[in-house]
């Protein structure tokens, strides 16, 4: 049996992953409205990944015979100042998620919940990748600054992201 405390914390994380998907869907909307089709498809792939993260946690909670609850997902924005501003907001959000995963892991250690620790290790490495993906795009967007030609090239390249 999994501790109630642990289930509650995992449920909170499920909500955060679904909220992440929402945030990125808001960004997709922004990119589509600004005709950045490549960035829109990059961000759509990101939103799908977030749904998979939520699913992974949902399956785990169900496997450990905990109950999943689905609190309301916060409303998100679809307005950003620039593509760079959107990706920067994404990076900040991923840092927040990493901290949240680390807290979950601390709880699993304190609870001596080895199964949850093992499952969370996947998320710990995944977060390293997520932050690095956003940092990489931000670095390149900073290079092109506001040059329309550069932004168009970046948009084309980002459209190649595979799910
Ligand atoms: Fe995630």
Residue 133 Cα to ligand 1 midpoint, Å, equals 12
**Residue pLDDT tens, the chain, 163 long:** 789 999 999 999 999 999 999 999 999 999 999 999 999 999 999 999 999 999 999 999 999 988 999 999 999 999 999 999 999 999 999 999 999 999 999 999 999 999 999 999 999 999 999 999 999 999 999 999 889 999 999 999 999 987 7
Residue 76 Cα to ligand 1 midpoint, Å, equals 16
Residue 74 is predicted with a pLDDT of 95
d(CA 19, CA 10): 14
Residue 61 Cα to ligand 1 midpoint, Å, equals 16
Nearest CA to 83 out of 130, 41, 36 is that of 36
Residue 146 is predicted with a pLDDT of 81
Helix (H) or strand (E) holding 23: helix 4-33
Residue 149 is predicted with a pLDDT of 93
Residue 17 Cα to ligand 1 midpoint, Å, equals 5
- C-alpha of 145 from chain center: 25
Residue 143 Cα to ligand 1 midpoint, Å, equals 27
Residue 3 Cα to ligand 1 midpoint, Å, equals 23
Residue 53 Cα to ligand 1 midpoint, Å, equals 5
Residue 50 Cα to ligand 1 midpoint, Å, equals 5
d(CA 40, CA 34): 10
Residue 121 Cα to ligand 1 midpoint, Å, equals 13
Residue 98 is predicted with a pLDDT of 98
Sorted by sequence, the CB contacts under 8 Å of residue 128 that are 6+ apart come out as: none
Residue 148 Cα to ligand 1 midpoint, Å, equals 31
The CA-CA-CA angle for residues 145, 126, 80, to 5°, reads 35
d(CA 62, CA 54): 12
Contact 155, 37 (CB under 8 A): yes
Residue 66 is predicted with a pLDDT of 83
pTM for this predicted structure: 0.95
């Amino acid at each position: 049996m999994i501790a109630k405390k642990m289930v509650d914390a995992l449920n909170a994380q499920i909500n955060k992953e679904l909220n992440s998907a929402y945030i990125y869907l808001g960004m997709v909307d922004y990119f589509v409205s600004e005709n950045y089709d490549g960035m829109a498809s990059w961000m759509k792939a990101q939103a799908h990944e977030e749904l998979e993260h939520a699913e992974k946690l949902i399956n785990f909670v169900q496997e450990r015979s905990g109950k999943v609850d689905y609190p309301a997902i916060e409303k998100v924005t679809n307005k950003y100042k620039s593509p760079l501003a959107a990706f920067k907001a994404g990076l900040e959000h991923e840092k927040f998620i990493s901290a949240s995963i680390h807290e979950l892991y601390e709880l699993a250690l304190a609870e001596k919940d080895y199964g949850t620790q093992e499952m969370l290790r996947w998320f710990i490495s995944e977060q390293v990748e997520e932050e690095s993906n956003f940092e990489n795009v931000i670095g390149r967007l900073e290079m092109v600054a506001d040059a329309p030609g550069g932004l168009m090239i970046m948009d084309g390249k980002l459209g190649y992201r595979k799910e």
